[in-house]
Structure 1
Amino acid sequence: MRRLLTGLCVTLLLLLNTLVLIGPLLLIALGKFALPGRAAKAACSRGVMWVAETWAELNKLIFAALLPTEWDIRGGAELRQDTSYLVISNHQSWVDIPALVQAFNRKTPYFKFFLKQQLIWVPFLGLAFWALDYPFMKRHSKALLAKHPELAGQDLEITKRACEKFRDLPVTVVNYLEGTRFTPTKHAEQGSPYRYLLKPKAGGVAFVLAALGEQLDAVLDVTLVYPGTRIPGFWALISGQVPRVVVDIRTHALDPALYQGDYQNDPAFRRQMQDWVTQLWREKDERIARLREELRGEAAPLGEAQRMGE
């Protein structure tokens, strides 16, 4: 009963926060289309970002007041709001997004996620995603791609167009290289060579780097780890069932060689990008193993103490 009440209270407060701020956000967003001149449009974009950051910060306060979750954030001490970053993260759950908010909101420019097209129909949030210029990606089945191979490059074209919009203001672009959330079933179907990760895709990140490379200050390599054997869903978080989330941030300087090539037409550059991504993923898989072992080691004494008290 306590978990149910906690979950309902958090849900209502999150909904109230969204309803209060969605109006100002959409009103300012309309100014980007109605007002003349780049300066006015840029001011509206900054206003939209400020409302979104305020919304995220209020959500953080709601979580802090009602939930027991410890956000164990490691690294990222030198982050700035006046430059652009590329965030590369593993993806396991909807809880990943609140975790990134905890780590980066008002420490870096506001996030730009690449979203599935279906999310534009989510009540309220779909409009907010549109106002924030989030790019919506079209996912096609293997059967459809076999019949229409010309659709294979559609997401890459969307990525390039979206990144052109990101040039006017500092931005934090979030790229999930796995392309989907990790599940044991997907892991087995892929035959992934990694213990805790799906196979990464280099194409999307290559186009982000090509479009924004000179604008980006660094690559933020984020590793998310949850205690226990089960990956928690969003309800588990808002009902108080997630005791701790580890957000490990490694900052990498951006090698100009990673954005000074042609991923589509240069096989040597494509191999270079794929090798870079593969190395990142090997290190991330090892990091997850170490962090999971650390969390198990910390949980063991607690379990022993509980048994002694029974």
Structure 2
Amino acid sequence: MKPLIGITSLFCLLVNMIFWSSLLFLFALLRLIIPSRGWKKLWTSATVLLGEACIACNSSWIKILHRPSIIITGMENLKKDHWYIATSNHQSWGDIFVLQKITNKKVPLLRFFMKDVLKWIPIVSIVGWSLDMPFLKRYSKEQVEKNPSLRGKDLEQMKKAFKRLETNPGTVLSFAEGTRFTQLKHDDQQSPFKNLLRPKAGGIGIALSTMPFITTLLDFSISYESKTKSFWDFLCGRMSVISIKVRVIEIPQNLLGKDYSKEKGFRDDLKDWLYEIWEAKEEFLNSA
């Protein structure tokens, strides 16, 4: 029965994404053809509405096929017209659908940090481009050492991406761990947390530097009852018992109005702050 649910879920997902990505692409083209700031705000609002409709449709088939049991705390006092930066622990591609489902029309549309390689997936590329999601190409220390001209390029990419989000309220979400949790990655990192990888401050730091009007962080902690968390497990409905804790955290004043690429003190303070958030997240995951 579960494999049949998985196949049906995949079919619903593909049909839904193809339909809405086609409409998003048309509106995004209009935004390019008529590039004035006033019109851009209108087209951006239209693409956001389409994005929310797409999420609502995904949430519908998830509700029908998976019958999820989601216990959420901390969703009070969220604002639709407020700017947020958000972060979450990351265990599965299913996290994206869960986060979209619980936040849709409660906060501004989530914009995820997307890995540059995802540009080559047509539907993902169209949706990401239409909704101004930042595609980021990160360079390793080894790559930078071999080619010093790459130094700082990933930061410049982030700055350009965030500049496109200035016209309308938004929620920029960074999976601060940088990748999905696995025990192998955890052991390689020698992470001090049992259920989490070490948080990386880069994405959040550049977002704060580029968009100083963001003063609030949304911290999502997701716990699945299921021990297996592949995307196929999600599609099959095996990850439907979920506990989520949401924390609305005011960003400390010493982390606002700083330049992440130039101020080492800011980078250190931000890293320490994220580790404090991760300690609270770990406590929830241990008790969930």
TM-score range, shorter chain: over 0.9
User: In the TM superposition, what whole-angstrom CA distance separates every residue of 1:59-94 from its partner, at most 9, and x where no partner exists?
Assistant: 101111111321222212111211111111111110
Give the counterpart letter for 2:96 in structure 1. Answer: I
Give how far 1:155 is off.
Answer: 2.0
SS in 2 for 1:223: strand
Matches within 5 A, 1:291-302: 291=288
SS in 2 for 1:126: helix
Name 1:210's counterpart in structure 2: 209
Give how far 1:97 is off.
Answer: 0.4
Name 1:145's counterpart in structure 2: 144
SS in 1 for 2:162: helix
Superposition RMSD on alpha carbons, in Å?
1.6
Residues 135 and 161 of structure 2 are in contact (CA less than 8 Å); yes or no, is this contact kept in structure 1? Answer: no
Q: What CA distance in whole angstroms lies between the structure 1 residues aligned with 2:106 and 2:42?
A: 20
Q: TM-score, normalised by structure 1?
A: 0.88
Matched, 1:196 2:195: yes
Aligned sequence identity (%)? 33
Give how far 1:152 is off.
Answer: 4.2
Q: What CA distance in whole angstroms lies between the structure 1 residues aligned with 2:262 and 2:49?
A: 39
Give the counterpart letter for 2:280 in structure 1. Answer: E
SS in 2 for 1:88: strand
Matches within 5 A, 1:257-268: 257-268=254-265
Name 1:219's counterpart in structure 2: 217
SS in 1 for 2:101: helix
Name 2:71's counterpart in structure 1: 72
Matched, 1:107 2:106: yes
Matched, 1:273 2:270: yes
Q: What CA distance in whole angstroms lies between the structure 2 residues aligned with 1:126 and 1:55?
A: 15
Give how far 1:218 is off.
Answer: 1.7
Match of 1:255 among 240, 252, 255: 252
Q: For structure 2, list consecutive stretches of 5 or more residues without a partner in the other structure.
A: none
Residues 220 and 244 of structure 2 are in contact (CA less than 8 Å); yes or no, is this contact kept in structure 1? Answer: yes
Give how far 1:144 is off.
Answer: 2.1
Matched, 1:245 2:256: no
Residues 84 and 217 of structure 2 are in contact (CA less than 8 Å); yes or no, is this contact kept in structure 1? Answer: yes
User: In the TM superposition, what whole-angstrom CA distance separates every residue of 1:251-300 from its partner, at most 9, and x where no partner exists?
Assistant: 11222321222333333332222211121112211221122xxxxxxxxx
Name 1:170's counterpart in structure 2: 169
User: In the TM superposition, what whole-angstrom CA distance separates every residue of 1:147-181 from its partner, at most 9, and x where no partner exists?
Assistant: 12442422222121111111111001001111111
Name 1:155's counterpart in structure 2: 154
Q: For structure 1, list consecutive stretches of 5 or more residues without a partner in the other structure.
A: 292-310
Give how far 1:213 is off.
Answer: 2.7
Q: What CA distance in whole angstroms lies between the structure 2 residues aligned with 1:243 and 1:19?
A: 25
Bigger mean CA deviation after superposition, 281-290 or 141-150:
141-150
Q: 1:14 to 1:265 in 2, by over 3 A?
A: closer
Q: What CA distance in whole angstroms lies between the structure 2 residues aligned with 1:151 and 1:57?
A: 40
Name 1:83's counterpart in structure 2: 82
Q: TM-score, normalised by structure 2?
A: 0.94
Give the counterpart letter for 1:246 in structure 2. Answer: S
Between the two proteins, the alignment pairs up a number of residues equal to: 288
Q: What CA distance in whole angstroms lies between the structure 2 residues aligned with 1:266 and 1:35?
A: 38
Q: What CA distance in whole angstroms lies between the structure 2 residues aligned with 1:150 and 1:188?
A: 32
Matched, 1:286 2:244: no
Residues 80 and 108 of structure 2 are in contact (CA less than 8 Å); yes or no, is this contact kept in structure 1? Answer: yes
Give the counterpart letter for 1:84 in structure 2. Answer: W
Give how far 1:217 is off.
Answer: 4.9
User: In the TM superposition, what whole-angstrom CA distance separates every residue of 1:115-151 from its partner, at most 9, and x where no partner exists?
Assistant: 1111111132221111111111113344323312442
Give how far 1:206 is off.
Answer: 1.3
Residues 159 and 207 of structure 2 are in contact (CA less than 8 Å); yes or no, is this contact kept in structure 1? Answer: yes
